[in-house]
Amino acid sequence: MGTLKPWARFPLLVAAHLLALGIGAAVLQALEGPPALQLQAKLRAELAAFQAEYGACLPPGALEELLGTALEAQVHGVSSLGNGSEARTWDLPSALLFTASILTTTGYGNMAPLSAGGKAFCVVYATLGLPASLALLAALRCCLLPLLSHPGAWVAIHWQLAPETAALLCAAGLGLLVAGTFVLLPALVLWGLQGECDLLEAIYFCFSSLSTIGLGDLLPGGSRGLHPVLYHLGQLALLGYLLLGLLAMLLTVETFSELPQVRAMVKFFGSSGLLTAEDQGGILGQDELALSTLPPSAAAPEQATTC
183-202: which residues touch a copy of itself (CB under 8 A)?
198, 200-201
Residue 1 within binding range of a copy of itself, rule CB under 8 A? no
Residue 140 within binding range of a copy of itself, rule CB under 8 A? yes
Q: Is 306 exposed, middle or buried (0-12, 13-18, 19+ CB in 10 A)?
A: exposed
CA distances from 18 to 11, 13, 15, 25 (A): 10, 9, 5, 11
Site for a copy of itself in 104-133 (CB under 8 A): 105-109, 112-123, 125-127, 129-133
Q: Kindly tell me which residue out of 70, 176, 177, 230 binds a copy of itself, with binding defined by CB under 8 A.
A: 70
Q: Kindly tell me which residue out of 1, 2, 52, 57 binds a copy of itself, with binding defined by CB under 8 A.
A: 57
The region that residue 79 occupies, defined by phi over 0 for left and psi between -120 and 50 for alpha, beta otherwise, is: beta
User: Between 239 and 278, how does the x/- string for binding to a copy of itself read (CB under 8 A)?
Assistant: --------------x--xxx-x-xx-xxx-xxxx-xx---
With respect to a copy of itself, which residue has the nearer C-beta, 120 or 177? 120
Task: Kindly report the number of other CB atoms within 10 A of residue 15's CB atom.
Answer: 11
Q: How far apart are CA 43 and CA 73, in angstroms?
A: 19
Contacts of 15 (CB under 8 A, 6+ apart): none
With respect to a copy of itself, which residue has the nearer C-beta, 3 or 160? 160
User: What distance separates the 2 farthest-apart alpha carbons in the chain?
Assistant: 89
Q: Kindly tell me which residue out of 4, 8, 71, 176 binds a copy of itself, with binding defined by CB under 8 A.
A: 71
Per DSSP, the residues of 132-152 read HHHHHHHHHHHHHHHHHHHHH
With respect to a copy of itself, which residue has the nearer C-beta, 14 or 193? 14
Q: Kindly tell me which residue out of 4, 8, 74, 185 binds a copy of itself, with binding defined by CB under 8 A.
A: 74
Per DSSP, the residues of 272-302 read --SS-HHHHHHHHHHHHHH-TT--HHHH-TT
With respect to a copy of itself, which residue has the nearer C-beta, 71 or 185? 71
* Least distance in angstroms from the C-beta of 152 to a copy of itself: 7
**At how many degrees (to 10) do helices 6-54 and 260-270 cross?**
100
Q: Kindly tell me which residue out of 4, 8, 27, 230 binds a copy of itself, with binding defined by CB under 8 A.
A: 27
With respect to a copy of itself, which residue has the nearer C-beta, 128 or 230? 128
Q: Kindly tell me which residue out of 37, 177, 193, 244 binds a copy of itself, with binding defined by CB under 8 A.
A: 37
Q: Kindly tell me which residue out of 88, 177, 180, 185 binds a copy of itself, with binding defined by CB under 8 A.
A: 88
Residue 177 within binding range of a copy of itself, rule CB under 8 A? no
For a copy of itself (CB under 8 A), the number of binding residues is 158
Q: What is the DSSP letter of 197?
A: S
Residue 213 and residue 108 in contact, taking contact as beta carbons nearer than 8 Å: no
Q: What is the DSSP letter of 183?
A: I
